[in-house]
Amino acid sequence: MKRFYVILVLAIAVALALGVGISKHTGYVLITYPHLLHYESSLWATLVAVFAIGLGIYLIRALLMLVTTSGGVVNPWSRRNRSRRVQIAIEQGQMDLAEGRWASAERHLHRAAEAERQPLLYYIGAARAANEQGRYEESDGLLERALERQPQAELAVALSHAQLQMDRGDTEGALVTLQAMHERHPHNAQVLRQLQRLHQQRGDWSSVIRLLPELRKDKVLPASELAELERRAWGENLNLAAQREEQGEAGLQSLERAWEQLTSAQRQQPQLVLAYADQLRRLGAEVKAEEVLRGALKRGYDSHLIRLYGLLRGSDPARQLKFAEGWTKDHPGDASLLLTLGRLCLQNSLWGKARDYLESSLQVQRNPEACAELARLLAQLGDTERSNQLFQEGLGLLDNRLLSSPLPVPARV
């Protein structure tokens, strides 16, 4: 409070001193220009006028800034509000797309794309939303618009278009799109990956095989995944080769040609040997299939090969049984081997031995095939009760869902 009074007293003193000074020395200001301007006044009045004019200019400028700023907030057509609306459309559109609200996603993302300088991702999102609604022409139109706005993004647009075509089941159109991109961008990993997936989806394993060298050279897939794809492709190609022709000699010739296309190393891979031998069996060449499997098993034991070996009837069933029994020392607990031995004993009419092997296989693993084989044998041997139990068990093992399905209550007699 004391400071306030001190300042007040000082201000009064300064004002009095200034008043006295003004009264004694008013000063004189004259500004004149012939025929245009003539200003004449005291110095102090001139200073007051200059101060008033400056204060007025400052207040007018502040008022204009206030009006402009508030107008930007209130005016719906201001740049600030346009940017805010676009940002809201982007956020809402992306959320709708993620949550599957396709119509809303298309509307918001289309609006955002038209307003943004880099609209590619928003056009692609809107195209996907339209595609999910079955509005394929609108989807393609949005991608065309994206290409018009960003022509340098041709590859990205084409890859998105191919994926949408695959989603709608237009594999032929997707193939045309991807093949065009493959010609223009032969080493692009995403083009190669989508081509590989498309060929698989179409069941065109010959095309997958032709693509394998490029997938390997450009390191599109991890080594383990590529090796598995290669084995599957060649295996499926063997199956298709056998199915292209009618049963008989023509089918066998087609299968043999496909087998000869494999390298020596590939012809020793258990998965491919299994596919080849299985197709030989289906075409009626069981003797040839048994020879192929016997040669492969001599190179190395494989449970899948030994399982198929038991389904074949070669030229000498007794020799088959002896060959298979040679593996029991190294693989005594292999359920597949025991099942095969049981089947080979059946081929050789060794009923008791067959029963023992099949019982042993079931002790290791409850398997529907072993259940069925043993059930058939027991039925012939007169043990119908146990045979029926095994048939029921085998049926349940084939599909556990059957056991949980409701059944009708038996009618009373």
Q: For position 79, what pLDDT does the model report?
A: 57
What does the pLDDT read at residue 61? Answer: 83
pLDDT higher than 50, residue 77: no
pLDDT 10s digits, 246-291 = 555 777 888 888 888 888 888 898 888 998 899 899 888 899 999 9
Least confident among 34-38, 163-167, 237-241: 34-38
- DSSP symbols for 43-101: HHHHHHHHHHHHHHHHHHHHHHHHHHHHHHHH-TTSHHHHHHHHHHHHHHHHHHHHHT-
The residue with tokens 């982007």 is: 90
The residue whose two tokens read 């060449």 is: 285
With CA atoms as reference, report the closest residue to 328 among 317, 342, 314.
342
Q: If you average pLDDT over residues 150-155, what whole number do you get? A: 94
End-to-end CA distance of the chain: 114
Q: Is the dihedral of CA 380, 386, 392, 395 positive or negative?
A: negative
pLDDT above 90: percentage of residues in the chain: 51
CA dist 16 and 12 (Å) reads: 6
As a residue count, the chain comes to 413
What is the tens place of the pLDDT at every residue in 277-327?
A: 998 998 888 999 999 999 999 999 999 999 999 999 989 999 999 999 999
Domain segments of the chain as ranges: 309-398
Torsion angle (degrees, nearest 10) of CA 82, 84, 87, 92 = -110
The pLDDT of residue 244: 63
On the question of pLDDT at 413 being above 70, the answer is no
Over residues 133-143, the mean pLDDT reads 94
Query: What's the pLDDT at 170?
Result: 93
In this predicted model, which residue has the larger pLDDT, 403 or 413?
A: 403
pLDDT of residue 25: 66
Look at 230-244, 315-329, 356-370, 395-409 and tell me which has the smallest mean pLDDT. 395-409
Kindly give the pairing relationship between strand 37-41 and strand 29-33.
Answer: antiparallel
Q: Is it the case that residue 22 has pLDDT exceeding 70?
A: no
Cβ contacts of 166 within 8 Å, gap of 6 or more: 174, 197, 198, 201
Q: Which residues pair with 32 in a beta bridge?
A: 38
Question: What is the average pLDDT across 124-135?
Answer: 94
| Amino acid symbol at 300 | G
Mean pLDDT value of segment 122-137: 94
Q: What local confidence, expressed as pLDDT, does residue 250 receive?
A: 79
- Tell me the pLDDT band of 3, cut-offs 50, 70 and 90: confident
Does residue 406 surpass a pLDDT of 60? Answer: no
pLDDT digits 0-9 by tens, 341-378: 999 999 999 999 999 999 999 999 998 999 999 999 99
| SS3 state of residue 48 | helix
Q: Which of 84-88, 131-135, 177-181 has the lowest mean pLDDT?
A: 84-88
Whether the CB-CB separation of 109 and 80 falls below 8 Å is answered with no
CATH topology of domain 309-398: 1.25.40
* Residue in this structure with the two tokens 């095994």, named with its chain if needed: 390
Mean pLDDT of the chain: 85
Q: Is the pLDDT of residue 71 over 50?
A: no
Q: What's residue 399's pLDDT? A: 65
